Amino acid sequence: MALKSVKLYYTNRKAAPYEGSTLGGLREKNLVPVMAAPVKLEGVSEELQKILDAKMDEAPARRRARESFKDIQLNIDHILFKTPYNGLKMKESYEVNSRGLEIFSKSWLPEASPPKAVVCFCHGYGDTCTFFGIARKLASAGYGVFAMDYPGFGLSEGLHGFIPNFDRLVDDVIEHYSKVKDFIPVIQLKVLGDELVVGKRALTFLVFLGNPEFRSLPSFLFGESMGGAVALKVHLKQPNAWSGAILVAPMCKIADDMVPPWLVKQMLIGVAHILPKQKLVPQKDLAEAAFRDLEKRKMAAYNVIAYKDKPRLQTAVELLRTTQEIEQQLEKVSLPLLILHGEDDIVTDPSVSKSLYEKARSSDKKFNLYKDAYHALLEGEPDEMIIRVFIDIISWLDKHSVKCSPS
């Protein structure tokens, strides 16, 4: 599920703009940390419920919850979980990145033939790459799909739901996916002896990170909601590194009527310096806002390691800052684009995606607006809409994979 991103400050579906001394409808007297209501799942044993109720601020608790609920999740009656995974090679791993954080990643590869292209998945706010079967669906169509949980999200190390610096998160994504799709030469030193001191003999080796079979393949970014902002920032930092991007309800700009007044914004930033990790920013029930299909809305609760509390203050500030930065750089977006948005999305504004489509300097771009659809196009819509959106995505990937493939 791609969680709430742009409209962080509204509390009602038909919310009003900022007024007076309120912060998106939140009165100053209400500026206190609020915990999410305990999640109760039908048919769950008392032992599993205790795991679910445990504090999930740190990765070990989230990993325990995911392992305990994995079989239950796979039996959910959702079209994506019904996608056959026979014929797919799936791999999960943990790797410590250059910042010393243990990052969870997963890959899905077709078993019978080489992948048509590499698709690198960027998940939404509060989410994880382990739940809904988007990657499985793409891999079943012949693509090699790679995903990671950002630091502080899903199974990766870090305080749950905390983004101290969005650019640093983007750098973590670039570091991880560069190892996937590029064949990177690294000089490795091997010491002949007990320790490296003057006089000891040493040998240097040229070691290559990554998989050589993926180096010549087209590579695409796939971003949902906040993941769309991540994908755009990755592209802006690596303008010539990707063959294209698929953006589903991307968080790429905050609509004008959603930006808080200057004074309120400065207050928000000021408090974040003092209480960056506090959960002070109000938000509506995300499943209700994002999922149109009522039965699928209930299934969102089974994403047990998703971040469901109020956004942490510094996280909200970083999302606001990031969307403002992206808004100023839409004209710099130059890679082939497929932008998809639900017409009735109240989580991220469809007009923002249209603005990206119009302003991006890419000559190869397409914008699909789906009538009556909400935010979670690939998870929360009726089956026929989910199938339609996937057909559009796979058709675009097929066309662009052939176009980008070496002759």
What would the pLDDT profile of 138-164 be if each residue is shown by its tens digit?
999 999 999 999 999 999 999 999 999
What pairs with residue 339 in β-bridges? 247, 367
Enclosing H/E stretch for 281: none
- Rounded CA-CA distance 388/345 in Å is 17
Strands 102-110 and 244-248: unpaired
- Rounded CA-CA distance 148/207 in Å is 23
What pairs with residue 203 in β-bridges? 190
What is the band of 253 on the pLDDT scale with cuts at 50, 70, 90?
A: low
pLDDT at 28: 36
- Which regions of 293-333 does DSSP assign to beta strands (E)? none
What would the pLDDT profile of 122-131 be if each residue is shown by its tens digit?
999 999 998 8
Contact assessment for residue 369 and residue 341, using Cβ atoms and an 8 Å cutoff: yes
Sign of CA dihedral 60, 231, 355, 342: negative
What length does the chain have? 407
* Residue 104 phi, psi dihedral angles, 5° rounding: -90, 140
Q: What is the CATH number of domain 28-180+215-404?
A: 3.40.50.1820
pLDDT surpassing 80 at residue 259: no
Contact assessment for residue 52 and residue 304, using Cβ atoms and an 8 Å cutoff: yes
- Under 8 Å CB-to-CB from 221, ≥6 apart: which residues? 120, 122, 231, 234, 235, 242, 244, 245, 246
- Under 8 Å CB-to-CB from 73, ≥6 apart: which residues? 81, 131, 302, 303, 304
Q: How many CB atoms lie within 10 A of CB 231?
A: 29
Nearest to 322 by CA among 109, 8, 11: 8
Least confident of 101-115, 175-189, 360-374: 175-189
Enclosing H/E stretch for 89: strand 88-96
Contact assessment for residue 280 and residue 313, using Cβ atoms and an 8 Å cutoff: yes
What number is the average pLDDT over the span 297-324? 91
pLDDT surpassing 80 at residue 41: no
What is the band of 25 on the pLDDT scale with cuts at 50, 70, 90?
A: very low
- Under 8 Å CB-to-CB from 340, ≥6 apart: which residues? 246, 247, 248, 249, 353, 367, 368, 370, 377, 389, 392, 393
Sign of CA dihedral 262, 264, 268, 274: positive
Contact assessment for residue 148 and residue 175, using Cβ atoms and an 8 Å cutoff: no
Nearest to 303 by CA among 126, 148, 43: 126
- Under 8 Å CB-to-CB from 128, ≥6 apart: which residues? 66, 149, 153, 154, 155, 303, 305, 306
- Rounded CA-CA distance 309/37 in Å is 8
What would the pLDDT profile of 181-210 be if each residue is shown by its tens digit?
874 444 444 444 444 444 444 554 444 445
Write out the two tokens for 303: 């994403």
